[in-house]
């Protein structure tokens, strides 16, 4: 997905600069060529040597900018070199310069000398972030199509304040970088509302025992990230998960199939695209005990009953302008049962993926699949990361 792509990272002056070390290291490990520019204030927090070591490239500062050691101006070379620029942490000072087209250092000159997409990850004290001038500059810069912003999170800040202004975590920045390298900054889902289900539901026998499956919800998470990065408004209904919901996604946590169905039905009318990637249980215990059952009290044969078929109910309720996409996790022949599900459940499309192949399916960071739709289209998605697969799916759906 990101082989031989080139990312230029501008590091601003803030304590969150230490997190960018992980971003640079991760991008290098997945095959991205990375170069780094540090502002003068950034060097108070992390040294150029650290980033040079992690990126395997010289880390540039304003001192390099003003030295006549290059055949061409350094900011021109760097601006033309980059497929994507990331500025993190983005300070209020650098944000103001970008908003007004100012260029008084290597980083801001390089941004003006480039035409690629720019990803901005702000970080600052809550009172600073909430200042009217800062919010005005933030909204202004995001009106320009080449600039993409990651929302700040809330939490304990370095100033001991608890509130907004916390920079996105490294893994979230890396995911956004991967998305922008795939799309080239395209926002083809702007104005679209996407409803996604994720994870494996749990049908409890008692407070500590349940019928479930190995789904971790990583595919649904990837779909939510991809849709968000392409400009959609995203609602994610998910079962218990070990991952963090992306900033900017409306998240609804559920446990059982019944709870998931209620939430999906509630939010269905507001969505143009509905993707059922959750692995919903087929049956549940007929009786539920509010108290933990003693081992000796467990039934020798467990009476079961079916759970609601969420996809069938969504298909019954959906309107002509809505797309309903399902998933079919299969062993062996994955196409035949997926096609049967596509037609019997009145889906617009289905993603058939194997769960019996190495490093694919439940719990894996990667997957492979076949996209099938009711028009007879069949598109094979080769082995790739789940985030890349999500983008391949939206590449097709966005054209429908």
159 is annotated as an active-site residue: yes
How far apart are the C-alpha atoms of 121 and 118, rounded to whole Å?
A: 10
Structure tokens belonging to residue 122: 């702000």
Q: Are 394 and 230 in contact (CB under 8 A)?
A: yes
Structure tokens belonging to residue 4: 């031989």
Question: Which ranges constitute the DSSP H helices of 2-47?
Answer: 20-29
User: Could you check whether the bond before residue 89 is cis, i.e. omega within 30 degrees of 0?
Assistant: yes
Point out which residues pair with 175 in neighbouring strands: none
> Which has the closest alpha carbon to 100: 137, 145, 148, 147?
137
> Which has the closest alpha carbon to 95: 120, 75, 117?
120
**Phi, psi angle pair for 193, to nearest 5°:** -115, 120
How far apart are the C-alpha atoms of 48 and 21, rounded to whole Å?
A: 11
**Phi, psi angle pair for 62, to nearest 5°:** -65, -25
- Pick the catalytic residue from 21, 151, 159, 384: 159
Sequence-distant (6+) residues with CB within 8 A of 268 are: 195, 274, 314, 317, 318, 322
SS3 for 124?
coil
How far apart are the C-alpha atoms of 48 and 119, rounded to whole Å?
A: 21
> Which has the closest alpha carbon to 367: 377, 376, 357?
357
Point out which residues pair with 235 in neighbouring strands: 195, 250
Tell me the catalytic residues: 159
């Amino acid at each position: 997905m990101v082989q031989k792509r080139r990312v230029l990272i501008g590091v601003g002056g803030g304590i969150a600069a230490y997190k960018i070390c992980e971003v640079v290291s991760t991008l290098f490990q997945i095959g991205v060529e990375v170069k780094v520019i540090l502002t003068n204030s950034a060097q108070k927090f992390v040294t150029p040597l650290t980033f040079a070591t992690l990126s395997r490239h010289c880390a540039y500062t304003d001192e390099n900018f003003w030295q006549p050691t290059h055949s061409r101006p350094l900011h021109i070379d760097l601006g033309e070199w980059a497929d994507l620029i990331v500025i993190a942490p983005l300070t209020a000072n650098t944000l103001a310069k970008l908003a007004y087209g100012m260029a008084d250092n290597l980083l801001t000159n390089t941004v003006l000398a480039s035409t690629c997409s720019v990803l901005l990850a702000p970080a600052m004290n809550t009172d600073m972030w909430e200042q009217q001038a800062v919010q005005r500059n933030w909204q202004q810069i995001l009106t320009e199509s080449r600039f993409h912003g990651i929302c700040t999170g809330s939490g304990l800040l370095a100033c001991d304040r608890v509130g907004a202004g916390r920079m996105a975590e490294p893994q979230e920045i890396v995911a956004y970088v991967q998305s922008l390298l795939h799309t080239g900054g395209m926002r083809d889902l702007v104005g679209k509302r996407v409803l996604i289900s994720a994870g494996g539901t749990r049908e409890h026998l008692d407070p500590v025992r349940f019928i479930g499956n190995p789904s971790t919800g990583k595919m649904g998470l990837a779909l939510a990230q991809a849709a968000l990065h392409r400009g959609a408004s995203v609602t994610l209904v998910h079962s218990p998960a070990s991952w963090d919901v992306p900033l900017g996604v409306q998240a609804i946590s559920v446990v059982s199939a019944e709870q998931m169905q209620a939430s999906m039905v509630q939010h269905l009318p507001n969505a143009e695209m509905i993707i059922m990637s959750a692995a919903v249980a087929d049956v549940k215990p007929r009786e539920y005990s509010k108290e933990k059952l003693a081992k000796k009290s467990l039934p020798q044969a467990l009476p079961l009953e079916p759970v609601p078929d969420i996809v069938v109910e969504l298909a019954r309720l959906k309107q002509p302008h809505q797309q309903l996409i399902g998933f079919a996790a299969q062993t062996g022949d994955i196409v035949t049962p997926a096609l049967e599900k596509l037609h019997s459940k009145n889906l617009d499309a289905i993603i058939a993926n194997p769960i019996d192949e190495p490093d694919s399916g439940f719990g894996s960071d990667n997957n492979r699949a076949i996209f099938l739709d009711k028009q007879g289209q069949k598109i094979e998605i080769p082995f790739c990361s789940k985030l890349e697969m999500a983008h391949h799916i939206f590449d097709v759906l966005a054209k429908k």
